[in-house]
């Protein structure tokens, strides 16, 4: 059979396995087989068969005490490998370190994965509050970096975002698509703000966002906008010029 026509059921199996992984990423850390079957709409035997295969691959693990299922540690390795192989990140770190040294703010790099923003790098600044742990994902529209990335994402991402509960309006997304920066509160940290700028590819889409976070007295909103933001913008321009060389 030609490679362009996989055996019957193959794509469905992969799609169903992906659905189970997505369900396991939401809710309790370990979930019952029957609950996964109910939520997925798949039969119990199908879910059990898929979970056994995913456990064998290390993508899912089964708690020996409860027999419930949760995400497996192999996903961490795969996710880290994916992020570290992004061409932009391979060239970006010296610039991020220099940016932290110039501003003394905590500097982060964010990427859009599906409809979530993931913070893939962080260099701590003078303000040592725990801000955006590396690898932590958030709904894209809940952070300054995420809003910029969501605004420059494709129509498919816009549809998923506007269809979701507590979704942004189309007008919000259009505003973010034109914004050269965003500033927004950091959840859970009083008076701390994040300011972000997009790093654009030659076609105008956003490869990543550069962000800086901090709080008073060193990093009040005025300082972030008047001192830190110009440094972010300058670094983003340098990175965008590098895009023509192949990242």
Q: What is the block-wise mean pLDDT of the chain (247 residues), using blocks of 10 residues?
A: 44 90 91 96 96 96 96 89 76 87 92 88 75 72 94 87 82 94 86 93 90 87 94 92 70
Q: What is the pLDDT at residue 187?
A: 79
Residues 56, 38, 141, 152: is their CA dihedral positive or negative? positive
Q: Give the pLDDT confidence score for residue 139 in this predicted structure.
A: 86
Burial class of 117 by CB neighbour count within 10 A (0 to 12, 13 to 18, 19+): buried
The token pair that represents 239 in the structure block? 């990175």
- Which among 90, 84, 153 has a CA at the least distance from the CA of 117? 153
23 conformational bin, left if phi > 0, alpha if psi -120 to 50, beta if neither: alpha
Q: Give me the pLDDT at residue 60, please.
A: 96
Domain boundaries, the chain: 10-72, 79-245
Reported pTM: 0.76
Q: What's the rounded Cα separation, in Å, for the pair 24 and 38? A: 13
pLDDT of residue 244: 66
Give me the count of residues in the chain.
Answer: 247
- What CATH number was assigned to the domain covering residues 79-245? 3.30.450.40
Neighbouring C-beta atoms of residue 86, cutoff 10 Å: 16
The answer to whether 218 touches 127, Cβ cutoff 8 Å, is yes
End-to-end CA distance of the chain: 37
Question: Looking at the domain covering 10-72, what would its CATH class be?
Answer: mainly alpha
Query: Could you tell me if 206 and 112 are in contact, meaning their C-beta atoms sit under 8 angstroms apart?
Result: yes
Q: Residue 20's pLDDT is what?
A: 96
pLDDT of residue 231: 96
- pLDDT value of position 69: 97
Question: What pLDDT is attached to residue 133?
Answer: 63
């Amino acid at each position: 059979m030609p490679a362009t026509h996989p055996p019957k059921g193959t794509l469905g199996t992969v799609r169903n396995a992906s659905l189970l992984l997505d369900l396991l990423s939401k809710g309790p850390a370990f979930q019952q087989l029957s609950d996964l079957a109910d939520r997925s709409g798949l039969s119990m035997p199908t879910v059990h068969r898929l979970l056994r295969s995913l456990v064998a691959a290390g993508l899912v693990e089964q708690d020996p005490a409860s027999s419930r299922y949760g995400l497996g540690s192999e996903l961490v390795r795969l996710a880290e490998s994916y992020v570290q192989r992004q061409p932009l990140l391979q060239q970006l770190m010296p610039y991020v370190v220099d940016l932290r040294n110039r501003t003394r703010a905590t500097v982060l790099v964010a990427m859009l994965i599906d409809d979530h923003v993931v913070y893939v790098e962080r260099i701590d600044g003078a303000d040592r509050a725990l801000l955006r742990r590396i690898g932590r994902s958030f709904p894209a529209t809940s952070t300054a970096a995420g809003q910029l990335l969501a605004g420059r994402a494709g129509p498919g991402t816009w549809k998923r975002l506007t269809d979701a509960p507590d979704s942004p309006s189309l007008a919000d997304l259009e505003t973010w698509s034109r914004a050269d920066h965003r500033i927004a509160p950091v959840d859970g940290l009083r008076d701390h703000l994040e300011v972000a700028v997009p790093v654009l590819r030659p076609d105008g889409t956003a490869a990543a966002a550069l962000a800086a976070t901090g709080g008073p007295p060193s990093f009040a909103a005025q300082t972030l906008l008047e001192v830190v933001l110009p440094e972010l913008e300058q670094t983003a321009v340098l990175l965008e010029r590098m895009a023509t060389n192949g990242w």
